[in-house]
Amino acid sequence: MSSKELGSLLLILGTSIGGGMLALPAVTADLNFAATTLYLVLAWALMSVGALAIVSVQMRFQNDIGFMPLARKTVGRLMSIVTLLFSLLLLYSLLCAYTVATGDVLHTILGYLHINLSKPLALLLTALLLGSIVYRGIGAADKLNRIFMFIKIAACFLLIASIIPSDHWPNLALGHNAYTGHGFLVMITSFGFGTILPILGEYLHFDRKRLFRVTVLGGLIPLVLYLLWISAVHAALTQDQLMTLMNSSHTTETLLQQLIAITAKPVLQSFAWIFSAICTFTAFLGVSISLLDFLSGALKVKRTKRPKLALMALTYVPPTLIAMLAPWLFIQALAYAGVCCVFLLIVLPLWMWVKCRGNK
């Protein structure tokens, strides 16, 4: 696997294994593990098929990067406008959710370090810091994301290992089998790496084998980690704690506090801090790159190594303001993003793929 291929895979994983992963124990709190597994595998299958369709269509139209140009070429101008609206809703919803999550994590960490900073300022600070990395271009984001991802994966397994001694495995049989549309939409969003695939196609010089390889692995690895993560958390927390988590207006912060309470040793607390922080940071980076690239294409702004400041402002100001004014939107924003994902990353790619096949 080449360096760029590894970097692309890690960007996909960073986009998937992020704030959505922190939300999964909450939205599946009232389900038993068998039902959770069934719905999660279904979400993975749907999103993986859509992702492979995106790669196939992008390979055919290599000079038209992004969902809007691809939609215009395959399903018509009207659907390209619909794609514009859904793309903006999806990417702004995701960035809003991850801005809330990064602010919550930073606020919690600073609190344990006895540094007093209001939540709105914590949100603003994380947006400025991570946005400055994105401003340096996808190469800089790739390099930082690689560091984050290796630390994240190590912290994830160490955290799961630290939770397991507190686990009560019979807890996984508790809950019900009933379908919950709200939770399933968050599961869909947790595999929403398709948003970054068009720009990765260009980054990998449209090498078919490498693109398909990183796409398949980029879906399978999160599925395995999600199942391990949910099982460890659900087996460790009581039903009352899970219900508190599900009903919390600050899901990420509540989960972090609960995990710290379970992993009482200071060194294990560090794993919880590191994992939660990097989960949100990498997701923030991946979605930021996707939104910035989409706005550049939609507004027909010439791609340069460093984006224009006006484009950066259009990317970050709206979600940051919403996150500061309504921080309770984390789970709701992920659910709204899930609705957009169904169209943009499943229905539309398959429709475009069918059109391409029909025009051969």
Q: Residue 274's Cα: distance from chain center in Å?
A: 17
Residue 238: CB partners within 8 Å, gap ≥ 6? Answer: 171
pLDDT given for residue 174 in this prediction: 74
* Torsion angle defined by CA atoms of residues 23, 24, 27 and 33, in that order, rounded to the nearest 10 degrees: -160
Residue with tokens 């007093």: 116
- The rounded average pLDDT for each run of 10 residues, N- to C-terminus, in the chain (360 residues) is 81 76 81 88 92 88 77 84 83 81 77 78 81 75 78 82 76 71 79 82 80 90 91 81 73 72 66 75 79 77 68 84 72 71 88 80
Range of the structural domain that residue 278 is part of? 3-358
Residue 237: CB partners within 8 Å, gap ≥ 6? Answer: 25, 171, 245, 258, 262
Find the helix or strand (DSSP H, E) in which 217 lies: helix 208-236
Q: What is the CATH number of the domain that holds 138?
A: 1.20.1740.10
Q: What angle do CA 56, 143, 296 make, to 5 degrees?
A: 55
Inter-residue contact 108 to 327 (CB < 8 Å): no
Integer Cα distance of 175 and 178 in angstroms:
9
pLDDT given for residue 207 in this prediction: 81
Query: Domain count of the chain?
Result: 1
pLDDT given for residue 227 in this prediction: 92
Inter-residue contact 341 to 47 (CB < 8 Å): yes
Residue 54: CB partners within 8 Å, gap ≥ 6? Answer: 194, 197, 198, 345, 349
pLDDT given for residue 264 in this prediction: 65
DSSP state of 270: H
pLDDT given for residue 1 in this prediction: 67
CA 13 to each of CA 10, 17, 218, 233, 283: distance values in angstroms, whole numbers, following the listed order: 5, 6, 6, 21, 9
pLDDT given for residue 223 in this prediction: 93
